Amino acid sequence: MSQQGPILIVSNGAGSPIADAVAALKIFPLVESDWAEAADAIARLQPAAILAGDTEANEATLAKVARQLKAVTPYTPLIVIDPKTSLPENALPFAQSHADTSHLIARLKAALRVRTGHATLIRRLAAPSSPRMPKSDPLHDATVLLIGRGGSFPALSVALGQQMGVVGALSIEAAAKHLNARDLDGVVIGEGFSNRVIDAFLTVLSEDARFRNLPVLMATADGVINGYDLPNLEITSGDATTLAQFAVPMIRQHAFEARILRALKSIDAGGLLDPRTGLLTREAFDRDLNAAINENLSRGAGLSVARISFGHISERTQFDAARIVGRLMRRMDFATLDDNGGILIVFAETGLRNAQLVSRRFSSVLKHTMMSANVEQRLEPQVALATLLPNDSAGSMLSRLDQEARRVAS
């Protein structure tokens, strides 16, 4: 993989085992530095990535380096080898004792792909009409799948849920349904499964291009090794808090990459897609709805509009629901997130009866896959429908839809 700048290896002195192992592969230009010169080396060399070792005795310098990298664009990955303490939020862990050099190279390549995507986005955002990237922590957008049924499950749910959205699954079968129904930024595997079941699950993930680059984190399990084509698989030991500390930086990176990809799609679509949700912006939705109404009235075809609303939910849950809807829609349909947090969906070539069936399916999927910040709150999507009538306009359809939504809510 080509990249601008060398790979900087920071450790206690030259000739470190990390540098020797990576240099033997002859893939990347490498520069070594000790911790005392790390900050200066980063400013001078502008490396594409940093591999850091011997961090236990250099926590203060590691924190300084991490802060320095946060201010650098494009994204510069920082991978910490065998961390023994908590890491800065932008430092990716790599437990060397559970993997070989090839896995480290795979992890590095995956991180450099994020850097390449960010560099591409920065270049394309130069146009005045380009969408703006959200400035919030990507972790605010993240949703992680937590699998387990042992005593660690509640503790992991709390440790992860304090920082991101969590979808729980008590079985591998339920986990598979969530993987296919929604966009996820990581998988955390707790206790309660045999090595044979975990091996089969990891094999499936590694063989599917949709999931291969997901961060997958699990506690140490005898017989389970890093022998999978999963560059972001991390096997660690410790309690739920330790596992969450390892998981958060990797999940943040994946959420950041997902945000980049949505923004690039928005640019490809001429700025018509909302980079937060992947759905149409409201302006583009109104324009397309007007065009669809005029076309369908001229041909006498059916058209229906649905509003799915959820009551008072967090912004994260709104975006989560919008992305799920984006996966469920047919290619001929289009949708947007409205100002009240509901989702407007246009079902092209669809009469009222078929729209009711499709909307019921959407509502069922959302009910069983959406997560809420309040674990005790059960989300009940409410659906209102309006179908195209002769002499209808976008304004009259949406007005009728609002009346129906108020009736359903009451």
DSSP class per residue in 71-119: T-SS---EEEES--S---TTEEEE-GGG--HHHHHHHHHHHHHHHHHHH
Out of 61-70, 282-291, 313-322, pick the least confident.
Answer: 313-322
Looking at residue 113, what is its pLDDT?
A: 94
Range scoring the smallest mean pLDDT among 12-21, 51-60, 134-143, 152-161: 12-21
Does pLDDT of 2 surpass 70? no
- C-alpha 212/C-alpha 232 separation (Å) is 8
CA-based end-to-end distance of the chain: 58
CB 171 within 8 A of CB 153: no
For residue 189, give the amino acid letter.
Answer: I
What's the rounded mean pLDDT across residues 191-213?
Answer: 90
- The answer to whether domain 277-409 has CATH 3.40.605.10 is no
Q: Are 105 and 22 in contact (CB under 8 A)?
A: yes
> How confident is the model at residue 126, as a pLDDT?
76
Q: Is the pLDDT of residue 73 over 60?
A: yes
H or E stretch including 216? strand 216-219
Residue 190 in 3-state DSSP?
Answer: coil
For 1-124, give the CATH class. Answer: alpha beta
Q: Where in the chain is the domain with CATH 3.30.70.270?
A: 277-409
Say yes or no: domain 131-268 is CATH 3.40.50.2300.
Answer: yes
pTM for this predicted structure: 0.87
Residues of the chain with CATH 3.40.50.2300: 1-124, 131-268
- CB-based contacts of 64, cutoff 8 Å, min separation 6: 39
pLDDT-based confidence at residue 222 (cuts at 50, 70, 90) = low
| Cβ proximity of 279 and 335 under 8 Å | yes
Q: Which two tokens stand for residue 38?
A: 């790390």
Average pLDDT estimate for 276-302: 89
Nearest CA to 145 out of 114, 181, 93 is that of: 181
Instruction: Identify the pLDDT of residue 384.
Output: 92
With b for 16 or more beta-carbon neighbours within 10 A and e for fewer, the 227-245 pattern comes to ebebbbbbbbeeebeebbb
Tokens for 300? 């006498």
- pLDDT for residue 99: 57
Which is it for the CA torsion 95, 98, 104, 110, positive or negative? negative
DSSP alpha helix (H) spans, 279-342: 282-299, 315-328
Range with lowest mean pLDDT among 68-72, 297-301, 369-373: 369-373
